[in-house]
A = this chain, B = another copy of it.
């Protein structure tokens, strides 16, 4: 079944709580994950929240990677949305899961844009 996009939804639980509140670390991890899957990075934007938590996006030519963290719960939600056959989002998912030290994670893959004409 052909689809225009592949969207991985990562539930990352029991992560290292310190890194979940470290904007620079998370930015580096998301950029590394983007490169790991073979994506072309176009830009990024990260925000630190008070008293804790970080949101960040890396925009890639093949779509995007996103992360939202809740350090107080050791939890992060991450999305890896890619299109085209030149990238391997599963590799980005592995890289991110490892770097955040998640001891309990799940991944749901959603095919986006399943069209009769594509």
Contacts and interface: CB of A to CB of B under 8 A. Distances in A.
Interface of A: 4-5, 7, 9, 11, 13, 42-43, 45, 47, 49, 55, 57, 59, 61, 63-64, 66, 68, 70, 73, 75, 77, 79, 81, 83, 108, 110, 112-113, 115, 117-118
9 contacts: A5-B77, A7-B9, A7-B77, A57-B57, A57-B66, A64-B66, A64-B68, A75-B115, A77-B112
A28 B111 CA distance: 27
Contacts of A112: 9, 11, 77
Contacts of A77: 4-5, 7, 81, 112-113
Contacts of A81: 66, 68, 77, 79
A66 B66 contact: yes
Nearest to A4: B70
A68 B11 CA distance: 22
A87 B16 CA distance: 29
A5 to B, nearest CB: 6
A70 B57 CA distance: 21
